[in-house]
Chains A and B, each alone.
Chain A
Amino acid sequence: MDIGVKLAAPELTGAEIVIRCLQAEGVEYVFGYPGGAVLFIYDELFKQDKVKHILVRHEQGATHAADGYSRASEKVGVALVTSGPGVTNAVTGIATAYMDSVPMVIITGQVPTHAIGLDAFQEVDTVGITRPCVKHNFLVKDVRDLAFTIKKAFHIAQTGRPGPVLVDIPKDVTTAVCRFEYPETVAMRSYNPTVKGHPGQIKKALQLLLEAKRPMVYTGGGVVLSGAAAQLAKLVKLLGFPCTNTLMGLGGFPATDPLFLGMLGMHGTYQANMAMQHCDVLLAIGARFDDRVIGNPAHFGQVPRKIIHIDIDPSSISKRVKVDVPIVGNVPEVLEDLLKQLEGQLHKIDQQGLAAWWAQIELWKAKDCLRYDRGSRIIKPQFVIEKLYEVTGGDAFVTSDVGQHQMWAAQFYKFDRPRRWINSGGLGTMGFGLPAAMGVYLANPGSTVACVTGESSIQMCLQELSTCKQYRLPIKIVNLNNRYMGMVRQWQEFFHGNRYSESYMDALPDFVRLAEGYGHQGMLIDKPADVEPALREAFARKNDLVFMDFITDQTENVYPMIPGGKGISEMILAEDL
Chain B
Amino acid sequence: MNAPAASPYTLPAVEAGRMRHIISILLENEAGALSRVAGLFSARGYNIESLTVAPTEDASLSRMTIVTIGSDNVIEQITKQLNKLIEVVKVVDLSEAAHIERELMLIKVRATGKDREEMKRMADIFRGRILDVTETTYTIELTGTGAKLDAFIEALDKTAILETVRTGASGIARGERVLRV
- What is the interface of chain A, defined by CB distance below 8 A to chain B? 127-128, 131-132, 135-136, 139, 156, 188-191, 313-315, 317-319, 322
Contacts and interface: CB of A to CB of B under 8 A. Distances in A.
A281 B95 CA distance: 34
Contact of A313 (B31, B35, B39, B84): B84
A190 B88 contact: yes
B81 interface: yes
Contacts of B73: 318, 322
19 contacts: A131-B32, A131-B35, A131-B36, A132-B39, A135-B86, A156-B86, A189-B181, A190-B27, A190-B86, A313-B84, A314-B80, A314-B83, A314-B84, A315-B77, A315-B80, A315-B81, A318-B73, A318-B76, A319-B80
A191 B86 contact: yes
B66 to A, nearest CB: 17
Chain B interface residue bracket vs A? 20 to 34
Given A189-B89, A318-B76, 13 more contacts: A131-B35, A136-B86, A139-B31, A139-B32, A156-B86, A188-B86, A190-B28, A190-B87, A190-B89, A191-B86, A314-B84, A315-B81, A322-B73
B43 interface: yes
Contacts of A188: 86
A156 B28 CA distance: 16
Interface of B: 27-28, 31-32, 35-36, 39, 43, 73, 76-77, 80-81, 83-84, 86-89, 181
Contacts of A189: 89, 181
B88 to A, nearest CB: 6
Query: What is the interface of chain B mostly: helix, strand, loop, or mixed?
Result: helix
Contacts of A190: 27-28, 86-89
A319 B86 contact: no
A319 B84 contact: no
B82 to A, nearest CB: 9
A127 B32 contact: yes
A104 to B, nearest CB: 15
A315 B83 CA distance: 9
| Among B28, B86, B181: residue with most chain A CB under 10 A | B86
Contacts of B43: 132
B84 A315 contact: yes
Nearest to A136: B86
Nearest to B78: A315
A319 B81 CA distance: 10
Contacts of B77: 315, 319
A119 B93 CA distance: 41
A315 B32 CA distance: 22
Nearest to A137: B32
Is the contact region of chain A dominated by helix, strand, or loop, or is it mixed? Answer: mixed
Contacts of B35: 128, 131
A45 to B, nearest CB: 28
A129 to B, nearest CB: 11
A319 B74 CA distance: 9
B33 to A, nearest CB: 10
Nearest to B87: A190
Contacts of B80: 314-315, 317, 319
> Of A127, A313, A315, which is in contact with the most chain B CB atoms at under 10 Å from its CB?
A315
Contacts of B87: 190
Contacts of B27: 190
5 closest A-B pairs (Cβ-Cβ)?
A315-B80, A190-B89, A136-B86, A132-B43, A314-B80
Contacts of A315: 77, 80-81, 83-84
Contacts of A322: 73
Contacts of A132: 39, 43
A313 B86 CA distance: 13
B85 to A, nearest CB: 8
A127 B30 CA distance: 13
Contacts of B88: 190
A495 to B, nearest CB: 26
A322 B77 CA distance: 12
Nearest to A313: B84
Nearest to B88: A190
Contacts of B84: 313-315
A29 to B, nearest CB: 26
Contacts of B36: 131
Contacts of A314: 80, 83-84
Contacts of A313: 84
B76 to A, nearest CB: 7
A320 to B, nearest CB: 10
A126 to B, nearest CB: 12
Nearest to A132: B43
Most A CB within 10 A of own CB, among B31, B39, B80: B80
Nearest to A131: B39
A190 B73 CA distance: 24
A189 B61 CA distance: 11
A322 B71 CA distance: 14
A291 to B, nearest CB: 15
Contacts of B86: 135-136, 156, 188, 190-191
Of A132, A156, A190, chain B has the most CB atoms within 10 Å of the CB of A190
A314 B86 CA distance: 14
A8 to B, nearest CB: 25
B6 to A, nearest CB: 38
A555 B76 CA distance: 46
A299 B141 CA distance: 54
A206 to B, nearest CB: 25
B63 to A, nearest CB: 13
A135 B89 CA distance: 16
A315 B87 CA distance: 16
Contacts of B89: 189-190
B35 to A, nearest CB: 7
A281 B138 CA distance: 67
Which of B76, B81, B88 is the most central at the interface, judged by chain A CB atoms within 10 Å of its CB?
B76
Contacts of A136: 86
A368 to B, nearest CB: 40
Contacts of B39: 131-132
A319 B89 CA distance: 22
Nearest to B81: A315
Nearest to B40: A132
A191 B84 CA distance: 8
A127 B87 CA distance: 15
A486 B123 CA distance: 70
A136 B32 CA distance: 11
Contacts of B83: 314-315
Nearest to A318: B76
Nearest to A160: B84
A313 B89 CA distance: 16
